[in-house]
Amino acid sequence: MNQTADRPATLARATQPIGQIAVELPGSTAVFRRLKLDFCCGGQIALQQACDNKGLALDAVLAELDRLERPATPEAPQTTDGMIDHILTRYHAVHREQLPELIRMARRVEAVHREHADVPTGLADHLEAMETELLDHMDKEEQVLFPLLRAGGRGMAAMPIGVMRAEHTSHGEQLERLMALAHDTTPPPGACNTWRALYAGIAQLADDLIAHIHLENNRLFPQFEPVRKACC
């Protein structure tokens, strides 16, 4: 008997409609799209049946979906190396996965529902702008700042950290605009599964980006900045 399917949560997922999974598990839409499983108009079919219809191995699909599960973010390590490694795997890698699929879904929602009063016009363009800025920001951290911090370059780190803090402020402003365009991630009544999955994914992106910025601004960076003396 397959050990993956023995797990109660995974077994329950096999009987869930794929449209429900698409909404509840951000990132699953990319898996379904690649496997040509219709989670939107055909989303009422259980995952087991959808896999059977396509001749797909259910266990392999469940394993892919299991890898998307992101439990509550654990406390980041205290050491510089540990904290940076955590940032790279929990946030940088995740953002690089999140944004292309969100952009694709936003484009589809804007095209298919362009006559709907609540269509998030401009959302895909804004997500693309966020992706461009965020990728550039993460590249600078990975290529310049993080190696400097790992090497203990305390005296040289203040200036690049200042640049990163300023860019974090810009990310926060972009995030506010994103939430406004996405109506605070509340889909309209009767929204299709793609629309609902898009907003669920944006909500997760927002939570992840806020936690990412908090960790860098308030835990990692202060270790390498001059201590500010109280004025009185």
DSSP 3-state of 207? helix
- Pick from 50, 65, 220, 198: nearest CA to 150: 220
Phi, psi of 17, rounded to the nearest 5 degrees? -60, 140
* Segment 85-119, tens digit of pLDDT: 999 999 999 999 999 999 999 999 999 999 999 99
pTM for the structure as a whole: 0.84
Greater confidence (12 vs 203) lies with: 203
Where are the extended beta strands (E) located within 17-176?
none
Q: What six digits make up the tokens of 70?
A: 């992101």
pLDDT at 39 over 50: yes
* Segment 176-186, tens digit of pLDDT: 999 999 999 99
